[in-house]
Every structure is written in C-alpha cells, then in structure tokens.
Amino acid sequence: MFGSEFTDDWREQHFTGDRKASLALWLYQHKADVTRLVVAAPYGSTSVWQLPLQTLLQLQHLRLHDCKLQALQADSDGGAHPAATAYAEQQQHSSAASSSSKNEVGCLSSLKKLTTLGLMVSLLPAGEAQPFKCLRQLQRLVLYSSPGVVGVHSSVLAGLPPSLTVLRLPWADQAPFSSSLAPAVASLTALQVLHVQATRGCGGAQLNICKSMPQLRKLWLEGRLGIDVVDLLDVLPHLPDLEDVSVSVYDRYVAPNLLQPLIDLSRFSGLLASTPRSTQLQFSWHRVCQLPIGCGQHLFAASVQLSCLKRLVLRTPRYADSAERIRLLCEADWSVGGV
C-alpha cells in the first residue's frame, strides 16, 4: 500500500504536479515492498500520471480507473529513473505532443505476481493480441469502459490465464460474444463470476458460452445483449451452482425472431428449479421482450422450492409498460421456498 504520507487525503483531493511526482518517486524508492496500488481519478479527469509500474515486481493488486498514463524515462537497467519521476509535471507538458508518449500500460508482462487487475480498456497495450498471457497467477480481471474505447474485442481475450475466477468485461465486437468467438473464456474451468456488458453497436451475446461453465456461481449480463430472458431456459440447467443471476436487456429494438411466442409455457417450470442454490435473481427487459402471458404460474410454481432465495427483482425499464411486471407477479404462486 501507499506509505503513511499518502493514505490520508489521496482520495479526497486532486493531486498537484509535485504531489504526483513525489508519489511516483516514493513508489520507485519502495518498489520492493509495494504489493497493492489503486489510482482512481474523478470521472472525466484529464490528469496524467507517470508511474514506475514496470519496477513494481512484487505488485499483486493493481487498479487504474479514470486516469491517463505516460511512460517514464528508462535508465540503463530498464527501470524508471528517479529524476524522471521528480520532474513528472514538467515532462508531462514537454512530452504531451510527442508521438512516443502512450496512454497505456505497456508493462503487464513484467508484473507476473498480479492476482487482481482492474484496468480501463483504453490503457491496454495497443495492437497486443494477448495482453494477459504472462499473468499466470491472475485470479480477478475487471475491465472498464472508457471514453472513446467502450469495450474489448475477441483478440484481447485470447490467452487468458486459466487461474481466473472473476472476469468482468465490456464487449464491443460486432460479432456476438459466444464460445466460438471467445473460446478462451469458455475454457476457464476455475471461473466463478462472469459479468459481461454488451456495449452500443456490438453484436450482443450468445448464452451458449455459459454451458461449459458448470462451476459458475455468479452470472451478470447487461446491455444491448440481443437476447430475451427466455434464452436462459436453455442455459441455467447447465449451471447448478449459480447463486446470483442478473440479466438486464437494454435493447430498444429487438430482432423479429425474438418476438415469436413461446408455445410451451411449461418450460418456465425448469428455469428457477434448475438453480436451487440461488440467493439473488434479477431480470430486467424491454417491453418487446416481455415474458409471455401465463408463464408466471410455471415460473413461480409451488413445486419450485428455492429455500436459499433472499432477493427477487423483476423490472422493466422506465420507458416500458410496468403493467407487465404487475401481471407476472399476480400470476405467481408465492408459496415457494424462502421468498
């Protein structure tokens, strides 16, 4: 963690150039002892940070959010020179127009002890197809959208370390997020938490990618998924250990094939019954993705015992007809499990 001189007010106030330079210098001087580093600037901040990340070889937890980076000068040993950090503010102005200055983390391969990484997509090394392949101890990977770079593409997900237990990503590829396009994700046998945000203009998501993950305990899907809630009917039976399910469909316009009526309403009887360990269930959808009339008596049938369920949310967006939610709840048989 930071030294005592950096723990009191670093979150509450903007860092001046001198203060940022002293932080960079402190990190360089204590590089052998730093195991955790979090830099979270205010949203929309244009502040530029010069951090000697490539020298922090003991780093295990790194999170960079809403911040911009510039590479430091390298000394003959390949490390960040203390003099460069001491004059960080002057270098920011002098190198701002230089093409060699990159707003990215180009040193991930040297941080081999990382177990937790939270990073804005814009900070990923440009043109590098497998930026995480060297992080063989990585367990938690959280990627954030950023202005101008809203999400990741399939090439970024290649070479994910098999040790991952938590993965959160914003999807931006024009093809759907699926097992065929992201096989590295589908093969993560230790993954317990998957959170996918489908960004504007992406190809949506295909839930078949979850069928190879019976160990999943938390599944969160949100955004312009291009799917309907009923798509879960074919997926949840493959995920017996799920405890937390959240699906939020933001699509305003949905493909015509998703509007076809579901004839066999009894299929809903297996939706919740297939997740007996669930403690939280949340479904949100647009009015054109409404669950069909009559599904409530199957979805919440008395035979479905959810003794672990503590929280149930059925929600429609503010621009949709809330009567759908009311109708669904009226159909429910509330003698189920722990609800």
pLDDT on residue 162: 93
pLDDT on residue 2: 35
CA atoms within 13 A on the CB side of 130: 11
Is residue 210 within 8 A of residue 185, CB to CB? The reply is: no
Residue 222 has pLDDT above 80, yes or no: yes
Provide the residue ranges of all domains of the chain, joining segments of one domain with +: 1-103
- Least confident range from 28-37, 68-77, 154-163: namely 68-77
- Least confident range from 22-26, 153-157, 239-243, 283-287: namely 283-287
Is residue 276 within 8 A of residue 305, CB to CB? The reply is: yes
pLDDT on residue 110: 85
Is residue 81 within 8 A of residue 50, CB to CB? The reply is: no
Q: Where does the pLDDT of residue 322 fall: very low under 50, low under 70, confident under 90, or very high at 90 and above?
A: low
Kindly report, residue by residue over 16-51, the tens digit of the pLDDT: 556 667 778 888 888 889 999 988 777 666 667 778
pLDDT on residue 193: 96
Kindly report, residue by residue over 251-264, the tens digit of the pLDDT: 655 544 444 455 56
Report DSSP state, residue 148: T
pTM, entire model = 0.77
Task: Determine the average pLDDT of the residues in 241-247.
Answer: 89
pLDDT on residue 257: 46
Sheet holding 280-284, edge to edge: 36-40, 61-65, 116-120, 140-144, 166-171, 193-198, 218-223, 244-249, 280-284, 311-315
What are the start-end ranges of the H helices in 137-284? Answer: 183-186, 269-273
Residue 329 has pLDDT above 70, yes or no: no
Residue 115 has pLDDT above 90, yes or no: yes
CA distance 27 to 12: 20
What are the start-end ranges of the H helices in the chain? Answer: 17-29, 82-86, 88-95, 183-186, 269-273, 296-299, 323-331
Q: Where does the pLDDT of residue 59 fall: very low under 50, low under 70, confident under 90, or very high at 90 and above?
A: very high
Residue 133 has pLDDT above 80, yes or no: yes
Q: What percent of the chain has pLDDT over 70?
A: 61
CA distance 170 to 334: 36
Average pLDDT of every residue of the chain: 73
pLDDT on residue 5: 34
pLDDT on residue 188: 94
The residue ranking higher by pLDDT, 185 or 322, is 185
Residue 212 has pLDDT above 60, yes or no: yes
Residue 170 has pLDDT above 70, yes or no: yes
The residue ranking higher by pLDDT, 150 or 137, is 137
pLDDT on residue 14: 46
pLDDT on residue 139: 97
Residue 12 has pLDDT above 60, yes or no: no
The residue ranking higher by pLDDT, 233 or 100, is 233
Residue 247 has pLDDT above 70, yes or no: yes
Is residue 301 within 8 A of residue 267, CB to CB? The reply is: no
